Amino acid sequence: MQTKTLTKRLALGVMAALVSVSLLAGCGGGKDKGAGAQNDPPKIEIPAREPVSTAPTMTFKFGETEAKVYELTGVDLSKVIRTNKLVTLGDELFFHTDGHYSEDKLQHINKVTIKKETIADLVDLGPSGDIAELATNGKIVIWQTNRKATEGKDKIAIYDGKAATVGGKWSGSPMGDAESGDFMVYWGHELRHSKLEDGNWKELGKVFADDKTAFPDFKDTNISLKTVCVSKGDIFMRYFVEKEGGNIPYLIAFNKDGKELCRYEGIADLPRGWAVTENYVVHTGSKGAIRVFDRKTGKVLGDATIDMRPFALWTKTGNDVIVYDDRSHKIYRIDL
């Protein structure tokens, strides 16, 4: 028993060391650019934002920058929304809703319209399946159907801005690419570059055929990637590294050729959602912890605590992040 325990500890130590060596390479090379470094934070050029007349609900600072948090009010979603994935298409926000809310007692997809700091026009778009599956390529929104509504089969529900229709067979876990209109679909250990054609998946190629080969330090580990988003052509996926006393969350960024760009070490205490914005990468923890990184270099710009339980995040535009608080079941917008 002691031999097995020692072997396991050695294996965990080797795995953590491999990942740490990878992280020391930082983003784009240079041993001083690793995630977690806070010395000499880079100067970041922030896009102009439309003025907001509403007073923020709360504020927090990361480095010398003050972020403003606005509660989006109007439609009461407290008895409706139950989701761990958000997406936006234009001014519309999409999310999963609780089966208790719908007449058929199935989980559904609903949407609301965001007008400045107000949410309005709650619309039910039909039953949904896996609560983690919801994606947009900037033109359409897709999700997995509920098997009970589609003859026991997982199919693709497609919303084109007017109505939701059902396409072909659902597969993997997709992320939409607004630049190309395509999708990156993670299936097993491979990442497929695909597009939707007549409601069916058409594979265009593979970003990588095996994540264990694409990222050598993952070999002989229990690391499993999960989809996050595609932003400005870069692909972001999350994973955990097993360490003594708990798991450490990471986000890895790579391009469409599978070349690694950066890694970000997240909040270890009850980690929640990730978001990638124009200039930043954001990670949250269940107790209200929030960590902001410089997207380009991977440096930590600051840690703060906010009065909410930020569960799911999505970048609406620029550096504006939509947040679902699963404690109050409310929607907020963070202007970074």
Predicted confidence at residue 245, as pLDDT, reads 72
The closest of 134, 214, 209, 125 to 176, measured between CA atoms, is: 134
Q: CB within 8 A of 131, min separation 6: which ones? A: 82, 83, 84, 85, 96, 107
The closest of 128, 190, 121 to 159, measured between CA atoms, is: 128
Which residue in the block uniquely carries the two structure tokens 């009010």? 73
pLDDT, averaged in runs of 10, over the chain (336 residues): 42 44 47 43 62 87 94 94 95 94 92 96 96 97 95 96 96 97 96 98 97 93 94 97 86 97 96 97 97 97 96 95 96 96
CA–CA distances in Å: residue 266 to residues 135, 277, 281:
23, 16, 10
Please tell me whether the overall predicted TM-score, pTM, comes out greater than 0.75 for this model: yes
Q: Print the domain residue range for 316.
A: 2-335
* Token representation of residue 12: 């965990």
Question: Rg of the chain over CA atoms, in angstroms?
Answer: 20
Predicted confidence at residue 48, as pLDDT, reads 64
Helix (H, G, I), strand (E, B) or coil at 61: strand
Counted domains in the chain = 1
Element (H, E) at 17: helix 2-24
Q: Where residue 321 sits, what CATH number does that domain have?
A: 2.120.10.30
